[in-house]
Amino acid sequence: MTAPPNAQPPTPEPSPAERLGGLAVLVLSLAAGLALRLHLALTDDGIYWPDEVYQSLEPAHRLVFGYGMVAWEFVDGARSWAFPFLCAALLKLSELVGLDRPGEYVPFLKSCFALVGAATAYGCYLLARTYGASKLASATGAAMFALAAPAIYFGPRAMSETASALLVVFGLGLSLRRNPRRWELLLGASLLGFSVLLRLQSAVFCAGLLGALLGRRSFKEARDTALVLLGWAVAFGALDHFTWADAPGARFGGWFHSALKYFEFNLIQDRATGWGVGPWYFYFRHLFSSMPALAIGLGLGSAMAGRRAAGLLAIAVAFFALHSWVAHKELRFVIPALPLFCALCAVGLSELPARVSRWAASPSLLLAALWSAASHRSLTFGDLGQYPERPGASAYDDFGPVNRMLLAAHERPDLCGIRVDIAHLAWAGGHTYLHRKVPLYHLGWPPIEARTFNYVITWASHHLPGEVVAKDARNPQVALVRLHLDGCRADVGYPWRLP
């Protein structure tokens, strides 16, 4: 029986030294990548973009505890509930094991996403092996993702990009194997289908998988994959039907409402450009600025993989190109494709003569990965392409003091309302961090005379009629002030909407 076109050649048997070296690189890089992500999960209270709270943790908090701020997407139905449901399951798990205070369950949730990031690095290894890369080269590809500065930075954040990346790399790794067993193909297709529920843009990977299978003339596998993906599409529509049937402007009984609303908002109304636009080379520029040596290695290595992994390369490039075409750009948007490029680089290494790969190319890429990991704390928003008005600002712990004061406010037994005067609530942790069913206000409104709150997060130098009860240990200028009030007047019209 002849192999289908573009089938991967059988992997040559590695020498004992290469087997041991590959295992050492894999284990050490995964351990280091996990440790760095866990350290951020436990120490960084900052927010990169409001989505990491208000598209994930805050709606999950509302599901589990019955209250929380509501962003416009969860009023108009512009998001699927799949990702918040997943976060709610983790939040409920933390409550069941006794981690029921925000200072406990927030680090737990972030640590879960840190584990997802490390597992994604292992997925790079398996995907590279699917295409016949050697164990050492595959471990090098895994190390590149595990130790890449932007992957470390985004790893612990509750964003759909980081969660879907795990499903994508394992889904493609299973589905694109040479002569996959039926369960591998179906499971791989299911992982990709589920990734679309978490992040709609992952549909590009599903289409790419079908294209790759058809390109191999694996028609039976393509048919089975299409049926599985169709089932997940029905699940997507059904979830929207049960959650968004009553949303404003819902059509077709709410079926696929979040997808239709997303396309209307972004493609028809073009409203996402209100958050900024970037040139076509945005992702090239900021991948280079956030991990310069590693970005060059990824580009060269991926290009060398074209002969052996043409289908996978086409999928990764298509995802990258489509995001480069869209006007509004954020570096996190292409994170799901990063593990694919790392796996492709590993395949490209295996195209080199064994001596060159073993003694020159792999060590050079590992050094680049180590450099990226060692310098990840120096990342600025300029490196990541975020907040062009303050490019030199550190990307870490942004508005972290505000969130730590929300944690401090949670511990105050007399808390009946709180106002945040030094940040818009979108850049604060909401009721996920406060975890008290009280009004949360922002930026000087309502006035103190309204008597609907008795605590304020403000600058310590501002002299409010009250006493400072807590200061942030890292930035003592940020303080929690208790006003001279005996209780609060009930705010019966409090909207629970994110301003």
- The reply to whether 405 and 376 lie within a common domain is no
pLDDT of amino acid 7: 46
- The reply to whether 93 and 191 lie within a common domain is yes
The answer to whether 437 touches 475, Cβ cutoff 8 Å, is: no
- Residue 6 counted as domain residue: no
- Residue 310 counted as domain residue: yes
- The reply to whether 122 and 158 lie within a common domain is yes
Q: Domain ends where: 338, 353, 384?
A: 384
- The reply to whether 341 and 437 lie within a common domain is no
Instruction: List the beta bridge partners of residue 456.
Output: 419, 481
Contacts of 363 (CB under 8 A, 6+ apart): none
In this structure, the number of other CB atoms found within 10 A of the CB of residue 354 comes to 16
- The reply to whether 428 and 375 lie within a common domain is no
- The reply to whether 41 and 93 lie within a common domain is yes
* CB burial of residue 309 (10 Å; 0-12, 13-18, 19+): buried
Query: Which amino acid does the sequence have at 89?
Result: A
DSSP label of 455: E
Please tell me the distance from the alpha carbon of residue 259 to that of residue 268, in angstroms, as a whole number.
Answer: 13
Instruction: List the beta bridge partners of residue 441.
Output: 419
Contacts of 40 (CB under 8 A, 6+ apart): 110, 114, 152, 153, 155, 156, 396
Long-range contacts of 390-399 (CB under 8 A, 24+ apart): 395/48, 395/153, 396/40, 396/44, 396/46, 396/153, 397/44, 397/45, 397/46, 397/474, 398/46, 398/47, 398/48, 398/427, 399/46, 399/47, 399/423, 399/427, 399/428
Rg (CA), the chain: 24
pLDDT of amino acid 406: 98
Interhelix angle 203-215/182-198, nearest 10 degrees: 150
Query: What CATH number is given to the structural domain containing 443?
Result: 3.40.190
- The reply to whether 185 and 246 lie within a common domain is yes
The pTM of this model reads 0.94
Phi, psi dihedrals of residue 23, rounded to the nearest 5°: -65, -40
C-alpha distance from residue 464 to each of 43, 488, 489 (Å): 30, 17, 19
The answer to whether 491 touches 439, Cβ cutoff 8 Å, is: yes
Q: Is the sign of the CA dihedral 115, 116, 117, 118 positive or negative?
A: positive
Q: Which domain holds residue 270?
A: 16-45+77-384
pLDDT tens for the chain, 499 residues: list them. 344 444 455 555 667 777 888 999 999 999 999 999 999 999 999 999 999 999 999 999 999 999 999 999 999 999 999 999 999 999 999 999 999 999 999 999 999 999 999 999 999 999 999 999 999 999 999 999 999 999 999 999 999 999 999 999 999 999 999 889 999 999 999 999 999 999 999 999 999 999 999 999 999 999 999 999 999 999 999 999 999 999 988 889 999 999 999 999 988 888 888 889 999 999 999 999 999 999 999 999 999 999 999 999 999 999 999 999 999 999 999 999 999 999 999 999 999 998 888 889 999 999 999 999 999 999 999 999 999 999 999 999 999 999 999 999 999 999 999 999 999 999 999 999 999 999 999 988 999 999 999 999 999 998 899 999 999 999 999 999 999 998 999 999 999 999 8
pLDDT of amino acid 471: 97
- Residue 489 counted as domain residue: no
pLDDT of amino acid 13: 61
Q: Domain ends where: 352, 384, 416?
A: 384
Contacts of 255 (CB under 8 A, 6+ apart): 237, 238, 240, 241
Number of domains in the chain: 2
Q: Domain ends where: 325, 352, 384?
A: 384
- Residue 68 counted as domain residue: no
- The reply to whether 217 and 336 lie within a common domain is yes
- Residue 58 counted as domain residue: no
C-alpha distance from residue 314 to each of 168, 237, 302, 360, 477 (Å): 15, 28, 11, 27, 51
Helix (H) or strand (E) holding 458: strand 455-459
DSSP label of 273: G
- The reply to whether 242 and 98 lie within a common domain is yes
**Tens digit of pLDDT for each residue in 334-343?**
999 999 999 9
Helices (H), 391-468: 400-410, 430-434
The answer to whether 161 touches 199, Cβ cutoff 8 Å, is: yes
- The reply to whether 232 and 190 lie within a common domain is yes
Q: What is the DSSP string of 146-173?
A: HH-HHHHHHTTS--HHHHHHHHHHHHHH
pLDDT of amino acid 3: 42
* CB burial of residue 257 (10 Å; 0-12, 13-18, 19+): buried
Please tell me the distance from the alpha carbon of residue 369 to that of residue 32, in angstroms, as a whole number.
Answer: 11
In this structure, the number of other CB atoms found within 10 A of the CB of residue 123 comes to 27
pLDDT of amino acid 16: 76
Please tell me the distance from the alpha carbon of residue 316 to that of residue 261, in angstroms, as a whole number.
Answer: 26
Instruction: List the beta bridge partners of residue 481.
Output: 456, 468
- The reply to whether 327 and 178 lie within a common domain is yes
- The reply to whether 176 and 247 lie within a common domain is yes
- Residue 445 counted as domain residue: yes
- Residue 295 counted as domain residue: yes
3-state SS, one letter per residue, for 306-318: CCCCHHHHHHHHH
- Residue 431 counted as domain residue: yes
Q: What is the DSSP string of 291-336?
A: SHHHHHHHHHHHHHTTTT-HHHHHHHHHHHHHHHHSSS--GGGGGG
> How many whole angstroms from its chain centre is CA 249?
29
Interhelix angle 362-374/135-147, nearest 10 degrees: 20
Q: Is the sign of the CA dihedral 19, 20, 21, 22 positive or negative?
A: positive
Q: What angle do CA 405, 67, 72 make, to 5 degrees?
A: 90
